[in-house]
Structure 1
Amino acid sequence: MVDAMWGNGAGWFTRLLSGGKTEVIEIHNTRNPIFPEMKRPEPIPPNINVGLKATVDNKADVLLITDGDADRVGIGDENGVFVNQLQVFGLLAYYMLEVRKERGAIVKTLSTTSMLEKLGKLYDVPVYETGVGFKYVAPKMLETDALIGGEESGGYAFRGNVPERDGILGGLYFLDFMVRLNKKPSELLKILFDKVGSHYYDRIDSSFSGDRASREKAIMDAKPATIGGLKVTGLNSTDGFKFNLEDGGWLLIRFSGTEPIIRVYTETTHKDKVQAILQDGLKIAGL
């Protein structure tokens, strides 16, 4: 199942995979700048809920979602459950390292998964963390001849291709991953979690008013000992405020560069602490 989100991804998977045993069913595969049935063409819920339901209704093995310009890819599993962007990044890195047996650096923004550091240690490859955005990821990929690079938005780049996000190639690699291991997405995620442990992610975007600089100072001065009941082990203020936590997880508070919005993100190994971490993050941000 393919959800092209009324954008440039329409037709590509059908064209590339036709002529064999693979059946491709596309939805939202014509150009429509109004983007019906979704808030915006971003490959995350609730924009993809129609596609997730269609996956179950058609008994499809996987849902591939491309955003409006097809530089990002999202994944839904065979049960109509969204596989979040951090999980997909971990899965694609694992596929490159374990299945394809390739080696090379991993480049990640600070807003994406800590599973990559764990994979880096397991496979003895360096992992480089950058600011948010491919304007930071791409140069680091070129500098290090990186195997894969990516960010929290669902954009991934691969060695041998241009150092820029490519949703079509990312989707094709994911399909190859499924075929090589003869596994469906939920089974692949279990394999990854068996390797690096379960990781849970969520994000809240909140509007704010007033002076940004005073809020940034208040966040820097907060110095919380714990967040969500987990001990804070460090603070990275390279691009926003990333509080590292004792379980290897993190809380990131970051201001949008284009609108008065504060984004609060977390990834943790404790499923039951996700919302508590986010609520503490909102308090630290003065929201």
Structure 2
Amino acid sequence: MLIDGKGINQEQLDLITNEQVTNKSKIGLENNINSAYVDEAAQIIGKVSGNPKVIVDVGGGSAKNIASSLLQKIGCDVITINNDLEKSSRGPDPTSDQLDELVSKSKDVDIGFAFDLDADRLVVVKNGKKLSSDSTLGLGVAKALELGCKNFVLSLDTSISIEKYIKKKGGTVFRSKVGEVNVIEKIVETQSCAGGEGSSGGFIFPDFNFCRDGILTSGLIVSLMRKDEFSDVLNLMEKYHQIREKIEVGLEYQEKILKNLFDILKEKYRNLQTLDGIKVIVDEDSWFLIRKSNTENIIRISTESNSLEDARNIHLQTKELVKQSYEQIK
């Protein structure tokens, strides 16, 4: 649901669902859509050279026809799979699916893209390898920097490697709470040029729209593919390792657990952030984030380090700490 071209926040949703009363004058169905999306997106991206070969995994969703039309318009040779709205060889969320068919077929093309059902999430596949969801955002950011962007908003759980890349290029990073709406609100507040959520493979480019837009992002990434920035940002990101996990915790205990954890963690670490849950900066290359859910019986743990062993150790210790706190409180 959108208002003024932006996703709505919880306060707006509550107002719409709980307080708004409308009188229905008639009930019917009307189709009157004349979209200029492809033409306008192509103007933002521009033409790409070399007729790159691209495979698009629609996933049985709304990217059907639109993604391939855009990529063809900017100069790509496009193959599509899972283009049937009624069936798909993989699950609806490309960030969590192995994307076996796309990975296999991507070895014969320059790049592959997988979309979720509403095409806001995008996963990139290159040389037979599925890239992380953070890589989608990293590549979008690299393109935005090329276009002259300087200020960016990243969700709190986005890879530190993207922040380092932005700063290396002379840009500024603002952090927001996790969630598309929170990123967008921070973009508006800071007048930033772009941003997104690494965890969801979502890039936001306000010059085009105030939403995660996987289709636009796929075109932007193709236009960057044969430039040094493409490999530069991926090489930096490959040095970092992320682990994300959910732990079942009753809603009624989550706030108490976070308070207990904060009291424990502040004795061990100097750099704690409480913008959204508890984020602990272990060192310049390592961090972990503990967040509650407002709607589910889970606590989310995210961990990152430039050492896989360190990431695993930090994550395991954090997970055990959450479980111990839960046992003490319940």
TM range (shorter): 0.7 to 0.9
1:15 maps to a residue whose letter is S
Alignment of 1:120-159 (within 5 A): 120-151=166-197, 152-159=199-206
- Structure 1 residue aligned with 2:139: 91
Question: Which one of the candidate residues 81, 85, 98 is aligned to 1:27?
Answer: 81
- Structure 1 residue aligned with 2:247: 206
Describe the superposition over 1:96-150 as per-residue Cα deviations: whole angstroms up to 9, x where unpaired. Answer: 22xx251331001101121233233223222110101122111222233322110
C-alpha change, 1:243 and 1:4, in structure 2 (3 Å) is same
Alignment of 1:115-194 (within 5 A): 115-151=161-197, 152-179=199-226, 181=227, 188-189=230-231, 191-192=232-233
Given the alignment of the two structures, is residue 241 of structure 1 paired with residue 278 of structure 2, yes or no? yes
Q: Distance in 2 between matches of 1:200 and 1:234?
A: 20
- Structure 2 residue aligned with 1:62: 111
1:105 maps to a residue whose letter is N
SS at match of 2:78: coil
C-alpha change, 1:144 and 1:102, in structure 2 (3 Å) is same
Q: Distance in 2 between matches of 1:274 and 1:60?
A: 33
C-alpha change, 1:15 and 1:120, in structure 2 (3 Å) is closer
C-alpha change, 1:198 and 1:55, in structure 2 (3 Å) is same
Q: Distance in 1 between matches of 2:320 and 2:312?
A: 12
Describe the superposition over 1:196-241 as per-residue Cα deviations: whole angstroms up to 9, x where unpaired. Answer: 8822212112323462233222221221777xxxxx4411111111
* Superposed displacement of residue 26, structure 1: 1.2
Question: Which one of the candidate residues 58, 61, 65 is aligned to 1:11?
Answer: 65
Question: Which one of the candidate residues 245, 258, 265 is aligned to 1:216?
Answer: 258
Q: Distance in 2 between matches of 1:18 and 1:170?
A: 14
TM-score (norm 2): 0.73
Q: Distance in 1 between matches of 2:157 and 2:138?
A: 13
- Whether the aligned pair in 2 keeps the contact of 1:222 and 1:284 (CA below 8 Å) is no
- The answer for unaligned runs of 5 or more in structure 1 is 227-231
- Structure 1 residue aligned with 2:14: none
- Whether the aligned pair in 2 keeps the contact of 1:86 and 1:112 (CA below 8 Å) is yes
C-alpha change, 1:172 and 1:110, in structure 2 (3 Å) is same
C-alpha change, 1:162 and 1:20, in structure 2 (3 Å) is closer
- Whether the aligned pair in 1 keeps the contact of 2:70 and 2:219 (CA below 8 Å) is no
- Whether the aligned pair in 2 keeps the contact of 1:205 and 1:261 (CA below 8 Å) is yes
Name the % identity: 25
C-alpha change, 1:19 and 1:8, in structure 2 (3 Å) is closer
SS at match of 2:312: helix
Alignment of 1:29-48 (within 5 A): 29-32=83-86, 36-38=88-90, 40-48=91-99
- Structure 2 residue aligned with 1:229: none
- Structure 2 residue aligned with 1:53: 104
C-alpha change, 1:172 and 1:254, in structure 2 (3 Å) is same
TM-score (norm 1): 0.84
- Whether the aligned pair in 2 keeps the contact of 1:142 and 1:163 (CA below 8 Å) is no
* Superposed displacement of residue 153, structure 1: 0.9
Q: Distance in 2 between matches of 1:19 and 1:140?
A: 33
2:281 maps to a residue whose letter is N
1:144 maps to a residue whose letter is T
SS at match of 2:245: strand
Question: Which one of the candidate residues 151, 157, 163 is aligned to 1:105?
Answer: 151
2:79 maps to a residue whose letter is I
C-alpha change, 1:286 and 1:71, in structure 2 (3 Å) is same
Given the alignment of the two structures, is residue 285 of structure 1 paired with residue 327 of structure 2, yes or no? no
1:134 maps to a residue whose letter is E
